[in-house]
Structure 1
Amino acid sequence: MKRTPLSLLLFLFFIFLAWTVSIRQAVLFAVGIGMGAALAGARFGFTTGWRQLIEHKDPKGVMGQLVLLAVASAFSLTLLGQYSELTAALGPPSISLLIGAFVFGLTMQIADGCGSGTLYKAGLGIPLNMGILPLFALGSFLGSVQVGDWLKLGQIEPIGLVTEFGSVNALVITLIG
């Protein structure tokens, strides 16, 4: 697809969001599109770093991811510790998590990529991933509708590191992990 029609379409959708939803959502849309374009232009992907590490013994991509995780953790955990109105989205370790991880790994092999890889490749216009994308969305929707039933299979209480140990100790534990 040529860039001018696509840019026009994205701009019109930005205007539509600003007009019908909120300027905040329109700006978030623009930020997401900008970040996606930057990452796609740089050919950045999380699996690429790991592939380069395994195939070529080049750790730069994985180290970059670890630095990004450390920086994001430092900001996030500090904010969670400073502002009581912010809360962490804690998910309970559960049987459904184990089943979901297995299904995720299985479908990653079939689809030749995870959710973000599927979105990335569909955005590049790769036919297989354009066909997988609607199924990915449908599966995500069905999973969200049934989450209560899946969690009834058994779970343990989630642990909030900031709540339990404070933001500094939570950051240390996260960085060690």
Structure 2
Amino acid sequence: MAYMIITGLICGALLGFVMQRGRFCLTGGFRDMYLAKNNRMFYALLVAIAVQSVGVFLLIDMGVFEYSAGTLPIVAVIVGSFIFGIGIILAGGCATGTWYRAGEGLIGSWIALAGYMLMSTIMKSGVLAPINQQIQGSSVLPTNSIADTFGINHWFIIIPFVAIVAFILFKQLTKPKVAIPALKAKRTGLAHILFEKRWNPFVTAALIGVIALIAWPLSAATGRVFGLGITTPSANILQYLTTGDSTFINWGVFLVLGIFAGSFIAAKGSKEFRFRMPDVKTGINSFVGGNLMGIGASLAGGCSIGNGLVMTAAMTWQGWIGLIFMILGTWTASYFVYVRPRQKAKAAKLKEQVAAV
């Protein structure tokens, strides 16, 4: 038990610290792909996936732990991931982003987190559990592993993927740099690097990939053979609090609690922590978005981290299909939340100008 608590909290704290300081936000990254045609954060995600994938399969090949990708509930993954993508735009952050922004004092993230935990619990063990199980049990394909589908060794998938990511990274790093005014340093040495200096998104992604890799053997040692995960552990917290059943407590629970703690430390150290109360509309959107996140992630079997980072690194159909439909859901919501209102405001302004002539 002590091992589970310590390793879970430390791994989570490292993840929360790095994500907060590196501003690693997949919601903003997916949104910017559509609104600003900026793929930088998506490329950073690919770096994190590549780093984790190489390490995880090396550990599997060395016999450190065994992992089976299982079957593919394709309808549940598609529908759930799309709903989750819509939810993270309304909530203002993905599952992990909600946890680490709550650690910054953002009350809107607390509201989204409450909706997320509540609906995840309802979907997994509450009144909606039969519906969740029915959808997950329909249209199930026998093989989830991409390599097993094609009957090839997993390295024939991983090596080309890593090569593509390396090429993308090279192109990004060799682009002409836009001059950004340097912040006046108030600290020196390690304190400046940890709490003041701007972090490169690709360095941040590489660190997240390493933390995601470390999570596998740490978690496997407690009997939970998986890497980073947010949705089920978040539901487990509420399930434990409402039932008192200690079987809901596992390594993942301490991981998510560690994310909150690590983000809080990073925010306090960088003087970014402060309580920020949302307006009524933002608060409502946050709660609705959190609920949609809980529904979507429960159906899809994972969130932006569970599917988008971990299952993609495991080279599963669930991970990559989930990531694609998550992004599509994000773009759909971005159109109605950002693009459509601007178009209406522009049309209304033009109408006023024409009427005034």
* Other-structure match for 1:138: 118
* Other-structure match for 1:109: 89
* Other-structure match for 1:171: 158
Q: Residue 157 of structure 1 is aligned with which of 142, 152, 177?
A: 142
Name the CA distance, whole Å, in 2 between partners of 1:102 and 1:55: 18
1:101 Cα deviation (Å)? Answer: 2.0
- 77-86 vs 150-159, which moves further: 77-86
CA contact (8 A) 1:81 1:162 kept: no
1:87 aligns with 2:32: no
Q: Which amino acid aligns with 2:20?
A: A
Which of these two proteins has the greater Rg computed from alpha carbons? 2
How many residue pairs align between the two structures? 157
* Other-structure match for 2:13: 33
CA contact (8 A) 1:81 1:166 kept: no
Q: Deviations over 1:62-119 (max 9, x none)?
A: 4332222111111122333342851134451422222212321232232122212222
* Other-structure match for 1:97: 77
- In structure 2, relative to structure 1, the CA distance for the partners of 1:174 and 1:150 (3 Å cut) is farther
CA contact (8 A) 2:27 2:89 kept: no
Q: SS where residue 35 of structure 1 aligns?
A: helix
Name the CA distance, whole Å, in 2 between partners of 1:150 and 1:56: 35
Name the CA distance, whole Å, in 1 between partners of 2:67 and 2:14: 27
* Other-structure match for 2:274: none
* Other-structure match for 2:23: 43
Q: Which amino acid aligns with 2:92?
A: D
Q: Deviations over 1:22-55 (max 9, x none)?
A: 2233122122113312321232323445566666
Give unpaired runs (5+ residues) of structure 1.
1-20
Q: Residue 71 of structure 1 is aligned with which of 36, 42, 51?
A: 51
Greater relative CO, 1 or 2 (CA 8 Å, sep 6+): 2
Give unpaired runs (5+ residues) of structure 2.
165-319, 321-357
- The TM-score normalised by the length of structure 2 is 0.38
Name the CA distance, whole Å, in 2 between partners of 1:110 and 1:84: 40
- The TM-score normalised by the length of structure 1 is 0.70
Name the CA distance, whole Å, in 2 between partners of 1:57 and 1:96: 29
Question: How big is the alpha-carbon RMSD for the aligned residues of Structure 1 and Structure 2?
Answer: 2.9
Q: Residue 102 of structure 2 is aligned with which of 122, 147, 161?
A: 122
